Structure 1
Amino acid sequence: MEFFLDILKLTIPAVIVGATAYMLLKALLDERQRMDRALLRNDAQKITLPLRLAAYERLMLLCDRAEIANTMLRVRMPNMKVRELRGVLLMAINQEFEHNVSQQLYVSDTLWQIIRMAKNNTLAFVTITAPELDPDGPSDALANALLQALDEQTITPLQTAIHAVRTEAGQLL
């Protein structure tokens, strides 16, 4: 029996010291892993922040360039017909969107959906306004009809998208 007590006298403190050492080492290693993850996250943010800011900048340009008035200034030529201006406007707005589709990697899904809806609503706006006019009439008729209809809107879909881009970019900074 005395032999058993001697073994317990040696074993119990050894188990306590071993358990304490294990818990301390585990806590130290866990803290080290947490610090390493934080450093990796920080390094990743240093790399992705400029990319994300560039994406927001490109989306702002997309929204500005896709605005009907701005697009008309770029694509409208003298002696165009309503049909031609309508087609060129729709194509230019679609191309602006297509050139920037990769930016969705750097922004939230919600923001990308807002931008897609703004583009689709802008295309629909042109499509709905054009049939009211003679397709072979001068493009001035479509330009005036679009600008007049735009004046009646308090905010365009693309202006809403610009506001959403500013809001999300502001949260990043």
Structure 2
Amino acid sequence: MCAMLWRSSVLLALCILPISLAQLPICTRVQACSARIDIYPLVEDDSSGWSSGLVPLYDEAFASPSFDYTQTPETKTFELCGCSNNETCDDSISDRNLRLDDIVTLTFCEDVRLQLPLQCRGSRGLPRVIGVAHPSGETVSMVSSTAVFCTCPDGYERMRPEYWGGAEISISYKCK
């Protein structure tokens, strides 16, 4: 009886294993296959006003947290989807990378110029990154989805984050 239960549990484990190792969905043309996030420490600023004896001024509308880009970042990479034709999502090939700002870099299945041949014009089709909000609220700490329809020849400027749902925010980028 024990041998039969053991065989059943092994068989069940073998059936469940392929399900748990499910492949990522295949990337569409506008999706990055992976995203790298470089999170820098926040700048420590003692502008509280307490040293002067005055009550400190504090309003989130006046000062947003900024990152100390001189420090070493904590880097995380997120696989978002799989490339078709068994290609690899190789971030070591620089032509496949699209750096949106000092924090977010996206990697595509092909050369960015081939995969995204259109240049951004106006406010339509701006690159968007969706993910879990960083505690600062200024960027993402984890990426769950991307949509990039066009590229900007002079680089990108991050726009104000928008609430997306749950703990996620959406960050759009406009051309510089």
TM (norm. structure 1) is 0.27
Structure whose CA Rg is larger: 1
Identify which of structures 1 and 2 has the higher relative contact order when contacts are C-alpha pairs closer than 8 Å and 6+ apart.
1
Greater share of helix: 1
TM (norm. structure 2) is 0.27
Greater share of strand: 2
